[in-house]
Amino acid sequence: MLELTMAAVSAAEAGATAGMLMADAPSEPGTVLRVGRDTSLCRLATPDDWLFVSRVHLEFQCAQDGSWQLTWLRGSLPEPSSEVRLTVGEYAQPVAYGGTVPLPRGGSGEVVIQDRTAPRSVNVGFYHEV
């Protein structure tokens, strides 16, 4: 099972946890959880006017072996207006635009979508239960 929690944070709300959204899915091959602005396609949706987040920005997908991977989907622009980083424990790594990274089995961490033009972010915590 993969559990996600999401909070949209602006400078004025730094540290606030109100309005957190949650989603989960079983670790079955082909299962997908998406994060973005489009509520019809994404289980976790960001504010409509946060244009630094694509309609479908992140995709968490379960592989054949029950592991999960994260993909930062390419949007309609050649250059993104955000940055994405994955943090697991003390280790943080940027995620490439259009890139895919594995999530640790039985681990937890955070994926942050950071606006490049304003002090706001979308923070998605994850926990992979084995």
Kindly report, residue by residue over 108-121, the tens digit of the pLDDT. 999 999 999 999 99
The verdict on pTM exceeding 0.85 is yes
CA dist 104 and 38 (Å) reads 27
Residue where the block lists tokens 């955000």: 82
Distances (CA, A) of 17 to 1, 20, 123: 23, 6, 10
| pLDDT tens, residue by residue, 51-73 | 999 999 999 999 999 999 999 99
**Position of tokens 């992140």?**
58
Per DSSP, what are the bridge partners of residue 49? Answer: none
